Amino acid sequence: MIYLFTGSDTEKVRAKAFAWVAAARAKAPEAPYIRLNADTITPDALSEVIQSQGLFFSKMLVLLDDPFALAEVGESVLDALPQLRESQNPIAIVAPKLLAARAKKLEAVAEKVFKIDASEKKPAHGFNSALVNALAARDRHGLWKELMRAQRQGDVPEMLHGLLHWKARDLMSKGGRGWSAEEARALSRSLIELLSDSRSGDLPLSLQLERFALSI
């Protein structure tokens, strides 16, 4: 089953998606959760999340994070829509600023569509510009402080990680004074690895993010 998060306001769409994931995980904490972005979505990965079931769980929560950031990845997701729709796993697709033709295809098969456009009122905990600006400026102490403040306000680690990884990809495409192109790519890779390491149980994601902030 597909849950689509889309609209012209990228930051609000992402915030809504990660809040939805947090609520879903709170309802079923035993269910595995996997987040795939455009760099890690492959036909094999899609096949796995469509079919995965285990001895100790009946469903897996899946987040496909902005697959249309890469054209060929977006096309593979569109090709897999019939299977994604029939999957017993809840599959959230974050796809801001979709082209009309793609939006129509996704909306036609989605269980529910969350659409947030730029004209709508900003939520109380929307896009955290101070957090991503601290990362862009390579301000490790500022980034750590913003992480602590955001978590005290109730923002979940998955949401904060998603914002940081979005900014890393933004730096890759647009550049920034604090990061070279190669450093931005390495930053993106390190955030992907960080999320994977947190799933292994060595350290929870919140502590992994603190360690990351102080290492930049």
What confidence score (pLDDT) does residue 214 get? Answer: 92
42-52: average pLDDT: 87
pLDDT at 54 over 50: no
pLDDT band with cut points at 50, 70 and 90 for residue 46: very high
106, 155: one domain: no
pLDDT in tens, 149-165: 988 887 889 889 999 99
What confidence score (pLDDT) does residue 65 get? Answer: 95
72, 133: one domain: no
pLDDT at 211 over 70: yes
147, 93: one domain: no
Last residue of a domain, one of 80, 115, 150: 115
Pairwise CA distance, residues 152 & 132, whole Å: 17
**197 assigned to some structural domain:** yes
Looking at the chain, the whole-number percentage of residues with pLDDT higher than 90 is: 61
Question: Three-class SS string for 30-93?
Answer: CCCEEEEECCCCCHHHHHHHHHCCCCCCCCCEEEEECHHHCHHHHHHHHHCHHHHHHCCCCEEE
What CATH number did the domain enclosing 70 receive?
A: 3.40.50.300
71, 151: one domain: no
pTM for this prediction: 0.59
25, 78: one domain: yes
58, 154: one domain: no
Domain of residue 204, residue span: 129-213
pLDDT in tens, 25-43: 888 888 889 999 999 999 9
**168 assigned to some structural domain:** yes
What confidence score (pLDDT) does residue 154 get? Answer: 79
8, 97: one domain: yes
127-132: average pLDDT: 86
What confidence score (pLDDT) does residue 56 get? Answer: 39
Count structural domains, the chain. 2
106, 147: one domain: no
Those residues whose C-beta lies under 8 Å from the C-beta of residue 35, and which sit 6 or more positions away, are: 62, 63, 65, 158, 162, 195
